[in-house]
């Protein structure tokens, strides 16, 4: 065992008390983290079947992207049970909402050797499918020890992450060498994996599965319900998946915008809905009448999303969208949901998580850069004043989504054949 791998195993054991403290602190704000804690230590519910395909999808965004892939692979292997694990309660809710009884769900064990071993003893998976960037050394090492194939789907590797992986040396080298196959979003990620020592035959470029997202079945009824209950004849712009520090910029931009558009409301959706009450309070300090969307419908200048999984519905009401995580060092969140609705988009300069996706929307002329409240207000103002431009950009956004579909079919076909073998 490489020294770095041994050190990781030792440090992961030493980190256990701190992880429990963090889980307790987070559980005070988000009660879901206080539930089913034994699962995080590898104690699996008796209902979980053995010898199935194990998908790990982390949180809500990855889960939504994985749902059609899970269904497609499941159709190719109908006799095999499927287990989907997540890390966050929001991911758990999305599994229940979209997959229901089609799969089993439990929380993924923390990457501690004993927790992972206990989980693997109970589940005995025939394969592990990881999404995007979830490379956990102890989990992958244990799969290698038990001859369980491991697949990384929708993989992305930025230059910054690649530099970090190189610094981990033998630990990451051993982890990557234990993978069975890596399905990359784009060629640049495949090249970076290859530069880290992954053999080319282990790499495929299949596109981004998030472009294959479909509207929920109830999208029209939810849109009408919003218009009837909340819109009150107002025009809407939206800021989705925002973080602390970004909300101040968005609210300052809204303050500038209502000087030109007195019929304008802002929907502000924080990345973590339990922060909604804090965001409402922040909006009031800017002088706005603000309320959460789960409350009593009343005309408001700022509406704050406080429920997980609603953003894809709320984009339908908006004329312009700001995509969050892009004015801080988060690296940007997914603009594809807004584009699916044909909504022109604005983002900040931090886009590393979706760099290639953003590049495609920018080239199509439907996504714009703003680095300050003044620039954000200016971009949104220009779009609000020009309905024809909004239509053109909206069509362009939808076309980018359409042109980039097909990743799920490509991955499912290859992955399904591998699982059948």
pLDDT tens-digit readout, 138-166: 999 999 999 999 999 999 998 889 999 99
Contact of 96 with 105, CB cutoff 8 Å: yes
Q: Is the pLDDT of residue 167 over 80?
A: yes
* CATH code given to domain 3-7+29-207+406-420: 3.40.50.11720
- The token pair at 233 is 């004849």
In the chain, where are the structural domains located?
Answer: 3-7+29-207+406-420, 219-403
Distance (Å, rounded) from C-alpha 167 to C-alpha 169? 5
Q: Is the pLDDT of residue 55 over 80?
A: yes
Q: Which residues pair with residue 107 across a beta bridge?
A: 86
As assigned by CATH, the class of the 219-403 domain is alpha beta
- The token pair at 265 is 């409301």
- Give the torsion through C-alpha atoms of 382, 387, 390, 394, to 10 deg: 170
Q: Is the pLDDT of residue 2 over 80?
A: no
Q: Which residues of 38-71 are buried (b: 16+ CB within 10 A; e: fewer)?
A: ebbbbbbeeebeeebbbbbbbbbbbbbbbbbbbb
pLDDT band at 1 (very low <50, low <70, confident <90, very high): low
Q: Residue 113 has what pLDDT?
A: 92
**Mean pLDDT, residues 322-329 taken together:** 97
SS3 304: strand
Cβ-based neighbours of 255, under 8 Å, separated by 6 or more: 286, 287, 288
Q: 223 phi and psi, to 5 degrees?
A: -65, -45
3 state SS for 320-366: EEEECCCCCCCCCCCCHHHHHCCCCEEECCCCHHHHHHHHHHHHCCC
Distance (Å, rounded) from C-alpha 31 to C-alpha 352? 31
pLDDT in tens, 174-231: 999 999 999 999 999 999 999 999 999 999 999 999 999 888 888 889 888 888 888 8
Catalytic residue chosen out of the listed positions 5, 39, 62, 134: 62
pLDDT in tens, 10-38: 888 788 888 888 888 888 878 888 889 99
CB half-sphere exposure, 120, CA atoms < 13 A: 22
Q: Is the pLDDT of residue 127 over 70?
A: yes
Contact of 271 with 247, CB cutoff 8 Å: no
Q: Which residues of 5-31 are buried (b: 16+ CB within 10 A; e: fewer)?
A: beebbeebeeeeeeeeeeeeebeeeee
CB half-sphere exposure, 14, CA atoms < 13 A: 6
Cβ-based neighbours of 417, under 8 Å, separated by 6 or more: 76
pLDDT band at 233 (very low <50, low <70, confident <90, very high): confident
Residue 390 CA: distances (Å) to CA of 256, 316, 382: 20, 14, 9
SS3 4: helix
Look up residue 38 and give its DSSP letter. Answer: G
Q: What is the mean pLDDT of the chain?
A: 93
Q: Is pTM, for the whole model, over 0.85?
A: yes
62 is catalytic: yes
Q: Can you say whether the dihedral through the CA atoms of 26, 160, 171, 205 is positive or negative?
A: positive
pLDDT band at 106 (very low <50, low <70, confident <90, very high): very high
pLDDT in tens, 58-91: 888 888 889 999 999 999 999 999 999 999 998 9
Q: Is the pLDDT of residue 257 over 70?
A: yes
pLDDT in tens, 261-287: 999 999 999 998 889 999 999 999 999
pLDDT in tens, 330-356: 999 999 999 999 999 999 999 999 999
pLDDT band at 7 (very low <50, low <70, confident <90, very high): confident
Which one, of 228, 171, 233, 219, lies nearest residue 196 by Cα?
171
Q: Is the pLDDT of residue 421 over 80?
A: no
Q: What is the DSSP string of 281-301?
A: HHHHHTT--EEETTS-----S
Do 3-7+29-207+406-420 and 219-403 agree at the fold level? yes
pLDDT band at 326 (very low <50, low <70, confident <90, very high): very high
């Amino acid at each position: 065992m490489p020294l770095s791998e041994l050190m990781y195993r030792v440090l992961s054991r030493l980190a256990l008390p701190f992880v429990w403290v963090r889980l307790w602190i987070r559980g005070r704000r988000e009660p879901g983290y206080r539930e089913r804690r034994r699962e995080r230590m590898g104690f699996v519910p008796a209902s979980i079947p053995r010898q199935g395909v194990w998908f790990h999808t982390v949180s809500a965004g990855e889960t939504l992207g994985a749902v059609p892939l899970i269904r497609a692979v499941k159709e190719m292997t109908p006799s095999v049970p499927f287990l989907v694990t997540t890390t966050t309660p929001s991911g758990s809710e999305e599994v229940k909402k979209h997959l229901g009884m089609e799969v089993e769900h439990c929380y993924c064990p923390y990457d501690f050797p004993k927790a992972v071993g206990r989980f693997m003893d109970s589940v005995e998976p025939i394969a592990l499918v990881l999404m995007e960037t979830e490379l956990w050394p102890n989990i992958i090492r244990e799969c290698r020890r038990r001859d369980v194939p491991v697949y990384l789907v929708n993989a992305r590797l930025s230059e910054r992450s690649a530099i970090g992986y190189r610094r981990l040396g033998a630990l990451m080298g051993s982890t990557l060498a234990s993978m069975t196959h890596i399905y990359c979003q784009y060629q640049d990620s495949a090249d970076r994996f290859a530069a880290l020592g992954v053999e080319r035959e282990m790499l495929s470029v299949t596109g981004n599965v998030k472009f294959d997202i479909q509207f929920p079945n109830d999208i029209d009824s939810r849109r009408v319900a919003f218009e009837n209950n909340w819109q009150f004849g107002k025009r809407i712009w939206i800021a989705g998946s925002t973080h602390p520090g970004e909300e101040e910029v968005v609210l300052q931009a809204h303050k500038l915008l209502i000087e030109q558009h007195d019929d304008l409301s802002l929907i502000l959706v924080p990345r973590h809905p339990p922060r909604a009450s804090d965001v409402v309070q922040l909006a009031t300090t800017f002088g706005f009448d603000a309320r959460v969307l789960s409350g009593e419908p009343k005309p408001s200048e700022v509406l704050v999303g406080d429920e997980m999984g609603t953003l894809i519905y709320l984009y339908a009401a908006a004329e312009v969208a700001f995509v969050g995580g892009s004015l801080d060092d988060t690296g940007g969140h997914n603009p594809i949901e807004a584009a699916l609705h044909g909504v022109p988009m604005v983002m900040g300069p931090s886009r590393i998580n979706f760099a290639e996706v953003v590049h495609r929307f920018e080239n199509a002329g439907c996504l714009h850069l703003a680095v300050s409240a003044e620039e954000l207000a200016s971009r949104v103002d220009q779009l609000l004043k020009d309905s024809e431009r909004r239509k053109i950009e909206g069509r362009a956004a939808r076309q980018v989504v359409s042109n980039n579909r097909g990743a799920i079919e490509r991955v499912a076909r290859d992955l399904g054949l591998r699982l059948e073998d």
